[in-house]
Amino acid sequence: MCSETGGIRRFYDPHMEDAQLRATGRCLCGAVTFEVRGLLRDVVLCHCVECRRWSGTYGAFAAAANDDLVVYGDALRWIESPASNRHARRAFCSECGSSLFWQAADAERTGIAAGTLDPPTGLQRAAHIYTHDAPDWDALPEDGLPRDPDSSHVPRWT
């Protein structure tokens, strides 16, 4: 049985059966679990206001192609990200409140809150974005990562 919820599968899709499992993850309570059956993008750290309000701190997102992300559980809820300049929406677990996914309108990939992935992920931190929105307590580390890179900067996919 396969159905669609805004481009994300809620139930197992037999077409995904042969695709190699790359990663698994879940919310705090386990009512929402997911699998990634394709490449994952390295983790981008987002200091924007909306990630901060949504997660309580800065955002840390891996990403996967929408077609590679399989989500299980009826507790997943999507909300509009109210002031997003990319008309994004965000998904969370309605049972425990865990922040899970981020998706720009008409995007072909979905951001995955990195902390929801089961380690080891094989991922690295790739960049800081929206650094001008970082609040006073969020001092950016001298980690050598690109800050607000232009579109020529493409994080690694593994």
* Residue of 45, 48, 71, 117 interacting with Zn ion (CB under 5 A): 48
Tell me the C-alpha distance between 76 and 69, whole Å: 14
Identify which range of 42-50, 77-85, 139-147, 149-157 contacts Zn ion by CB under 5 A.
Answer: 42-50
Among 46, 71, 123, 134, binds Zn ion (CB under 5 A): 46
**Residue 113 or 123 with smaller CB distance to Zn ion:** 113
Identity of the residue, 48 or 71, whose beta carbon is nearer to Zn ion in the bound complex: 48
CB of 50 to Zn ion, least distance (A): 5
Let me know: does 50 contact 132? Beta carbons within 8 Å: no
Minimum distance from residue 151 beta carbon to Zn ion (Å): 17
Instruction: Give the span between the Cα atoms of 95 and 80, in whole angstroms.
Output: 18
Token pair, residue 99, equals: 């922040």
**DSSP character at residue 141:** P
- Residue number, 19 or 96, with CB nearest to Zn ion: 96
Q: Is 93 in the site for Zn ion (CB under 5 A)?
A: yes
If binding is defined by CB under 5 A, does position 107 make contact with Zn ion? no
Q: Are 117 and 35 in contact (CB under 8 A)?
A: no
Decide: is 31 part of the binding site for Zn ion (CB under 5 A).
yes
CA–centroid distance for 11 within its chain: 19
Q: What is the token pair recorded at 51?
A: 């990630």
Phi and psi, residue 68, nearest 5°: -95, -5
Residue 25 as a binder of Zn ion (CB under 5 A): the answer is no
**How is residue 70 written in tokens?**
């399989």
Site residues, Zn ion (CB under 5 A): 27, 29, 31, 46, 48, 51, 59, 93, 95-96
